[in-house]
Structure 1
Amino acid sequence: MARKPRNARRVLVVDDEVDLAELLELTLIKMGLDVDTANGVKEARGMLGSTAYDLVLTDMRMQDGEGLELVQYIQEARLDVPVAVITAYGSTQNAVAALKAGAFDYLAKPVSLEQLRTLVKSALRLDDTEEATPPLPVGDRPLLGDSPAIQQVLELVEKLARSQAPVYITGESGSGKERAARLIHARSNRSAQPFVAVNCGAIPENLMESEFFGYRKGAFTGADQDRDGFFQAATGGTLFLDEVADLPLAMQVKLLRAIQERKVRKVGSTSEDAVDVRLISATHQNLARCVEGGKFRQDLYYRLNVIELKMPPLREMGDDIVLIARHVLARLAQQNGMSMPAFATDALKALRQYGFPGNVRELENTLERALALSDGTTITSDDLQLQPQTFEGDVETGGAGGPLQDYLDRVERNAIADALEKTNGNRTQAAKHLGVTFRSLRYRMDRLGIAGKD
């Protein structure tokens, strides 16, 4: 059956509750939209086959089926229309299932008209953006590579950019989790709005609530004026929670409420403010194991882990390491006002053989050191100062003939450097992050020749 062309923005409301359907219809008409209604899944499928819609709003449970069936039908029929579901209050499982099936967003009953308007504006803006935004050229992508591993990531990123579902990015330290989050934001309808990145492990526990939600003047000593938090700063855009596993349990409760209610309360305030943010979280830890160990709330885990994006380690990206190395070296040379040196054959061999436990971050540090040690025209294997390594499962072992202590020192140095980076060089916070005493960390840093600040 041929589908009728659309002359104006048209929304399909699917609900067998007459009162709710009328409320949604009236609200949407006041927004200047054309609205059609269907009282069940079967009627909605027929209307989708004959009419082009800009948005579908469907209840989750109806007499002749579930809204999830409609979401799946739209995905299978490849209809270019975002669909949002309406779930019973507190029905997290249904909302998560719908988002994983391809729903754009969800609303909880009783439906907030303010949230409805926000969702509709976001959905319709998304449709325009998709038509107007061309694919990013390879040179402008923050994620480089031609290997199947990275291509799979890029394909999923494009799909995630068209959704409002929370994304959970996993991967080893230095594998590009924040880069992936920024690319999702850049390709989404929120790209013109802020991208706010937060390192959850670098915020003192007693400041977390005020940093995330803001505070009112006079809320505590030193609060001499109102201040917005991360949620308010990211309104309309994306909030990226890096190392989310480091959040203390008390803050996890507050974060869960903010996600469920889509409202936050500033410290010292008696009222809540509505916020519209897309959440992306990441950690190098195994969050499921943190849940099993009682360190992370299961309900928050399911809220954040709607769709998982796994970043591949550098050692699984084949010859992409050479492509990335040349790109990084060109940038470093430009920053230093130098011509880009060439890689000697032995240097390329060393790059391919080394396991890079610190991934792209370690590669960047290695190349920066090599650039300083080189003659300015060629990077050799001696300039890289790498030792070949092999990997057995998750256990890294030194290459043949590699002294055990050298290997252990390298692993320890990478772990300390990573912790210092996450805490902006603060040794006290880094020690807490690593689970050692400050004195122990200071001793290890002195032994390994690592600088830091108190």
Structure 2
Amino acid sequence: MANILYIDDEISALRAISAILKKEGYSVYTATTAEEGIEVLKKSPIDCILLDYRLPGMNGIDLLKWIRVSEISVPTIMLTAYGTIEKAVEAMKLGAHHYLIKPVDTELLVNVIKEAIEKSKGISKFEKIDAPFPEIIGKSKVMQDVFYIMKMVAESNANVLITGESGTGKELIARAIHKKSLRSSKPFVIVDCTTIPENLLESELFGHEKGAFTGATERKTGLIELAHEGTVFLDEIGELPMFLQKKLLRFLQEREIQRIGSTHRIKIDVRVISATNRDLEKAVKEGTFREDLYWRLNVVRINLPPLRERKEDIPLLVNHFLTKFSKENNKPLPQLEQEVLEALINYDWPGNIRELANIIERAIVLSPSGVISIKYLPKKIQEKTGWPVKEESTLNLLEFEKSLILKALNSTGWNQTKAAEILGISRKQLRTKMKNHGLLSSPDED
């Protein structure tokens, strides 16, 4: 027996159609508002939704958008007495299975419901479609290509080079490959080539013996050695100094390391995954990156697309971040007003997924009513919708400071170090101001 959710504020229609469907053997849940319908969807397994277009509060189109963002794989049939071609087209674009005009022919309705449920068989009633890497969100063609390469390479020992702009999730991809590999029970060690001072990087990578240099008061085990039998992730490998590129190449060729100050070589079994936002082929031509090292690292390459090239994934990412950040900030799961999702999809996202995450958390924190409207998005995103935005001359001091910080962050793809340089303050001062303005997602964000 299939479960039908029928949402309609017209009580007589609600009763009449519910009675017909019950005679056909269906179990019928009813709601008079979209908000009530959402609560039913959260609590009950539903096989098909009948949805009236005109509803108090959220209308039928708004609810369709919510269903799409929430990744609910339940066929929806739109009903209305105010049908137009434009509404029908909009509903179908948003994933509606069918669109019927009231008063509905009951035989047609029953047949459409039956067809919709049969077509959706094989998909769980209120679950996301299975993905090979559930921690990574994306159903676009470009991401499916990425998943295929990840799946093929995961159980091998081949070195992997992950390329892509800042904020596209390169570390997440590396972690997912390690998790699916035969080394998953062993360490996953991260080496950030941009944050470790150059004079300490060799020691951090390969370790040192006691007395090897001034200040070496005890033996230190290097990060590569700590990753023995596991995976070492060399983040931003393009920033590795030339003198260390040669030593890393030797390690990749011989799978042995030598601590600074030692004559003893240690055999290391480790899988190497590296990542960069630089064009390494260009760096090779310019002489700033060794060609032999490039080919050692680039056995299998995974190029992550920027968010602007996978916009069909934005609703899924938005839903993920709404759930994540509302929980982290002790807020109820908010609703998005109609134009908000459209604005997010239309924006080009220079800071990629990291920028999207920041903006969603900011909107959750700033919206007091549990409904995110366009005014809680940054100015440059509002401008994409034609929403009236305050001129900077009308902002108070705090608003003006926040506006300047957002401009600097957006112009640098949310790179805090570069934004701080533009603003003429230290990175620490910038982070303090970002925290005060609700712009900092987490203590470790960069």
Give the TM bin, normalised by the shorter chain. 0.5 to 0.7
Match of 2:176 in 1: 183
Match of 1:358 in 2: 351
Q: Alpha-carbon deviation of 1:315?
A: 1.4
Q: Tell me, yes or no, if structure 1 residue 370 matches structure 2 residue 366.
A: no
Aligned partners of 1:350 and 1:386 also within 8 Å: no
Distance 2:411 2:202 in 1: 28
Secondary structure, in 3 states, of the residue corresponding to 2:161?
strand
Secondary structure, in 3 states, of the residue corresponding to 1:387?
helix
CA deviation map 1:319-344 (0-9, x unaligned): 21011111012111111122110111
Distance 2:263 2:185 in 1: 31
Secondary structure, in 3 states, of the residue corresponding to 1:203?
coil
Match of 2:311 in 1: 318
Q: Alpha-carbon deviation of 1:233?
A: 1.0
1:321 partner letter = I
Which blocks of at least 5 consecutive residues in structure 2 are unaligned? Answer: 1-128, 392-399, 434-446
Q: Tell me, yes or no, if structure 1 residue 450 matches structure 2 residue 446.
A: no
Distance 2:406 2:331 in 1: 29
2:167 partner letter = G
Distance 1:270 1:242 in 2: 28
1:263 partner letter = E
Match of 1:304 in 2: 297
Match of 1:154 in 2: 147
Distance 2:407 2:236 in 1: 20
Shift of the 294–173 alpha-carbon distance from structure 1 to 2, 3 Å rule, reads same
Q: Tell me, yes or no, if structure 1 residue 289 matches structure 2 residue 282.
A: yes
CA deviation map 1:238-268 (0-9, x unaligned): 1111111111101111111111110001111
Match of 1:141 in 2: 134
1:450 partner letter = L
Q: Alpha-carbon deviation of 1:415?
A: 6.2
Distance 1:289 1:409 in 2: 32
Q: Alpha-carbon deviation of 1:380?
A: 1.3
- Pick from 376, 383, 387 the counterpart of residue 383 of structure 1: 376
Query: Identical aligned pairs, as a percentage?
Result: 42
- Residues 178-327 of structure 1: pairs in structure 2 closer than 5 A: 178-327=171-320
CA deviation map 1:118-154 (0-9, x unaligned): xxxxxxxxxxxxxxxxxx9549722111111111111
2:409 partner letter = R
Match of 1:336 in 2: 329
- Residues 156-171 of structure 1: pairs in structure 2 closer than 5 A: 156-171=149-164
TM-score (norm 2): 0.60
Match of 1:3 in 2: none
Shift of the 452–419 alpha-carbon distance from structure 1 to 2, 3 Å rule, reads farther
Q: Alpha-carbon deviation of 1:155?
A: 1.3
Secondary structure, in 3 states, of the residue corresponding to 2:167?
coil
CA deviation map 1:359-384 (0-9, x unaligned): 11001111111111112411111112
1:160 partner letter = V
Secondary structure, in 3 states, of the residue corresponding to 1:450?
helix
CA deviation map 1:157-212 (0-9, x unaligned): 10010221111111111001111111111111010111111110111111011000
Distance 2:160 2:411 in 1: 26
Aligned partners of 2:168 and 2:306 also within 8 Å: yes
Q: Tell me, yes or no, if structure 1 residue 413 matches structure 2 residue 406.
A: no
CA deviation map 1:44-63 (0-9, x unaligned): xxxxxxxxxxxxxxxxxxxx
Distance 2:386 2:381 in 1: 5
Aligned partners of 1:445 and 1:451 also within 8 Å: no
Secondary structure, in 3 states, of the residue corresponding to 1:146?
coil
Secondary structure, in 3 states, of the residue corresponding to 1:154?
helix
Aligned partners of 2:374 and 2:382 also within 8 Å: no
CA deviation map 1:3-58 (0-9, x unaligned): xxxxxxxxxxxxxxxxxxxxxxxxxxxxxxxxxxxxxxxxxxxxxxxxxxxxxxxx
TM-score (norm 1): 0.59
Aligned partners of 1:353 and 1:389 also within 8 Å: no
Distance 1:203 1:414 in 2: 26
1:413 partner letter = L
Distance 2:386 2:426 in 1: 26
Aligned partners of 2:132 and 2:147 also within 8 Å: no
Distance 1:381 1:151 in 2: 31
Shift of the 444–276 alpha-carbon distance from structure 1 to 2, 3 Å rule, reads same
Secondary structure, in 3 states, of the residue corresponding to 1:280?
strand
Question: Which structure has the larger Rg over C-alpha atoms?
Answer: 2
Distance 2:324 2:144 in 1: 23
